Structure 1
Amino acid sequence: MYHFKLSWGGYFMKETKQSLSELWALLRYKEKNLGLDELSLTERDIFQEILHFQGKDTHISLGKILNSSPHPRATFFRSLKKLRNNNFIEVTKCSKDSRKSFVTVLPKYR
């Protein structure tokens, strides 16, 4: 069994002794521990996008996430609202330009 590890330069293959079913079970277990199992697949996908863009930054531009998202705008904002209401993220307005917003992932999920 191989899985891919994403790096800035591309994909690298890493060998593992775990079967695919064991990896899925581990993923589901971790999602349940973090409360992600209550999110829809779309909400999880958008949360993953936010985590991907976060990197070492604490604030991520909402516009940057929205522009990279393959989901329709209405679906994106509906999912963002649920993530915010369930305390996965915080959304704040820019103090200099009120048209811009920033997303912050709460410390539990960083």
Structure 2
Amino acid sequence: MTYLWKKMTNAEKNLLIAKEVLKFNCFDTNEGLNWYRKHYDLGQWRYCTRLSDAIDLSERIIKDISINFQVLISRDKYECTLVKSTEDRTPLFKIEGSTLPEVICLAVLYLKDIEVN
């Protein structure tokens, strides 16, 4: 399945990350989904808009793999390149976006083989 990132709300983007990337186990029941929504409404899990949450997400995902995030910041865009942490430092993927949390989330989705357009 391919997700249309630009058409998704921030809440939908964050839910996608919680459910498909981090695999929160609360989504197995309606009660768990309600628990997620309640905590989300209180300000938890703002991966695509809050930098500290996006950094936490990236650290969780890359802790066991040999990948580095390289970030380039300009006046009106952010660019994130995933690079192998080996000697050859092979670039794997490059994404641009309007915010740093957004490009971090898109890079993480790429690493988890979740297609976004």
TM above 0.5 = no
Q: TM-score, normalised by structure 2?
A: 0.24
Q: With the length of structure 1 as denominator, give the TM-score of the two structures.
A: 0.25
Whichever of the two has the greater Rg, that structure is 1
Bigger relative contact order, structure 1 or 2, given CA contacts below 8 A and separation 6+?
Answer: 2
